[in-house]
Structure 1
């Protein structure tokens, strides 16, 4: 901690970190989004060749970038409130990443989206009271409990980090990723929160007395926990916007329910209907290899989303390249990626992302440039947005 503080002081006194071009710039407006994601490994790499990155983005007609800002326990810059968690003390990797990507050909601005990864494995190692708990009493290795997010220290830390990003870099959007629940919301604190929020005396039970983990009320409760958190996040961004004149959009990653697209995954807290009422944008994981799906299944899925009444104009389809069946660096083919990026733009969906940059080969870039044959125009806002998601009747 002391060393980090010394390095941070030195850094502040004689920093070579650039001022991100997103600072003091009006918000970027984009009708058709063509985005590429850079992970934390790219953002914090001091040897990153940003000229080469810029060249790739230009060639593929990319008009938006999604940049990993790290986790609350592993940050891409010196966060003054928690200097001990900096990935590289004394260096602002995120400032370099924004400076290297936020402007396209002719200095036309790109939309800048900063992503907060909500997993907290290091925090849990130090303090298991924030961890999610399964029905057998085992602790999650990566995810917090529902109560730790809803009214506990983890949710407060998420919001503080989001506010720091909004003020420090003035991005166009901030996205939470991995913010979902699996089977680990059954600790005593979560049981108390469930009873309070749902007006129940106990968890729903099976005839044998065990918790009915698939009960709809549990999914409804988890979705309410995340909706409440997004409301708090939106209020923080509203306050930032009132002070700075720039209120970033609030976005939320979500897994796709291929069997019933419009429903989302309430069991994970990802009810699309609820999330769409509390966030400005939903980013759906279009991960073909992980979901064992084919590109030709995408259009029927987006059609079902449109029929469900979900506002597809506020959806982003994020095409993931990962294919772990082929090892840690396995990836889907350039042809599959291109087919997915092409098919995703349908039924009112005008925002497509490809992730991650590190898995893109020369062949992938070439294939993407054949799908994205021109760079959609971006413009700077002439008046500030209202700062809250459009109302949708329940």
Structure 2
């Protein structure tokens, strides 16, 4: 009788040990979540415009980390990696022969999902014609950003639309993305005021008690967002079938369920004319750390939905540094754990050996 009781106790102990092992195993799985469905690396213009860039080596790297998507810079309207017949002087490669450097890069990406990214800054155009520049509330002109009125109904907006449609039609990528399409404080010129009046019905800018322009007023944020969403809609209308449109947007550092309407990035307005928003999780340039990735991804899942955004993890950090491999690892793990469907890392030119190793551990070893 006693032997029987002992055997039963031993059996129960073995069962408990087995259950404990399973639990430990499950905890291990939670620590290494499954990678996102879309895993991308972004190559900047410094790579695409380099006629000697080793794309074969880059492709081997992408294969090693199990990346199934890439983003390639398509330059700017004034600075193109191929001969754009409409504006041939914009071709920027240092070559005696007008080689299509974007086509060269595309020939090495295989069957991965492809996004071609257009930078909306126009410093050369502004240098040639100062009237195109945005003006801030103190009357200073921007070196890079066109005015809001130029984007809504000026030559800069027209040229951006033409270039986006040209890139979409020429290469038929999965997506064309618009980057640096945002407003800082450079939307207060005379032409912009005329636009704002038509939009808001106001006679003047909203002002503080001291007479200064209330740059954070909600009416300005709504107007800026309407300008950018209108420009995006014009581009989308000219795209061939099968090519989607993505808009790079700033992350909200104050509220993970919020947006950046003050920059012109009302997420819902932009998504009305685009397939995705690409959210800049550039925590190395903010007061937030890698840990905010979890809050941001969960907030975006709740506010716009997991299938309507991509999360871009930027390698930049203050003082010309990059985020560490440890920070990248944490951000990748938190993004996957929070359920971000699409994650990219940018730019490839700042990826160290340690960063590549982290990507392989996060995306390939499953």
Residue 312 of structure 1: aligned partner: 306
Indicate conservation of the 8 Å contact 1:224/1:269, yes or no. yes
Deviations 1:272-331 (A, max 9, x none): 222222221000111121013222222122222233x31221111111111242x3xx21
Q: TM-score, normalised by structure 1?
A: 0.80
Using the TM superposition, give the Cα deviation of residue 85 of structure 1 relative to its aligned residue in structure 2, in angstroms.
1.2
Matches within 5 A, 1:105-254: 109-237=111-239, 240-241=240-241, 247-254=242-249
Which whole-Å CA distance do the structure 2 matches of 1:361 and 1:337 have between them? Answer: 11
Supply the distance in 2 between the matched residues of 1:236 and 1:362 (Cα, whole angstroms).
41
Structure 1 position 91, deviation (Å): 1.2
CA distance, structure 2, for counterparts of residue 341 and residue 236 of structure 1: 35
How much does 1:346 deviate?
4.7
The 1-side partners of 2:357 and 2:226 are apart by 43
Match of 1:269 among 264, 273, 276: 264
Write out aligned runs for 1:27-46 (5 A). 32-46=37-51
C-alpha separation in 2, matches of 1:276 and 1:167 = 21
Classify the secondary structure of the residue corresponding to 2:216. coil
Instruction: Give 3-state SS (helix, strand or coil) of 2:265's partner.
Output: coil
For structure 1, list consecutive stretches of 5 or more residues without a partner in the other structure.
1-30, 104-108, 242-246, 376-394
Q: Secondary structure at the match of 1:70?
A: coil
What displacement does 1:35 show?
0.2
Separation (CA, whole Å) in 2 of partners of 1:178 and 1:144: 11
Q: Does the 8 Å contact 1:173/1:251 carry over to 2? A: yes
2:100 corresponds to which of 82, 92, 98: 92
Partner SS for 1:262: coil
- The answer for the alignment partner of 2:73 in structure 1 is 68
* Conserved 8 A contact 1:263-1:273: no
Query: Residue 262 of structure 1 contacts residue 272 of structure 1 at CA under 8 Å; is this kept in 2?
Result: no
CA distance in 1, matches of 2:159, 2:51: 27
Q: How far apart in 1 are the matches of 2:362 and 2:339?
A: 18
* Contact preservation (8 Å) 2:297, 2:335: yes
Would you say the 8 A contact 1:314–1:349 is kept in 2? no
Alignment of 1:42-61 (within 5 A): 42-61=47-66
Query: CA shift at 1:345, angstroms?
Result: 2.7
Preserved CA contact (<8 Å) 1:174 1:251: yes
Q: CA deviation at 1:99?
A: 0.5
Give structure 2 stretches of 5+ with no counterpart.
Answer: 1-35
- Please say if residues 65 and 360 of structure 2, whose CA atoms lie closer than 8 Å, have aligned partners that are also in contact: yes
Give a deviation string over 1:64-85, Cα, whole Å, max 9, x none: 0100000001001111111111
Q: 1:34-80 CA distances to partner (integer Å, 9 max, x unpaired)?
A: 00000001001111111111110000101001000000010011111
Provide the aligned length of Structure 1 versus Structure 2: 328
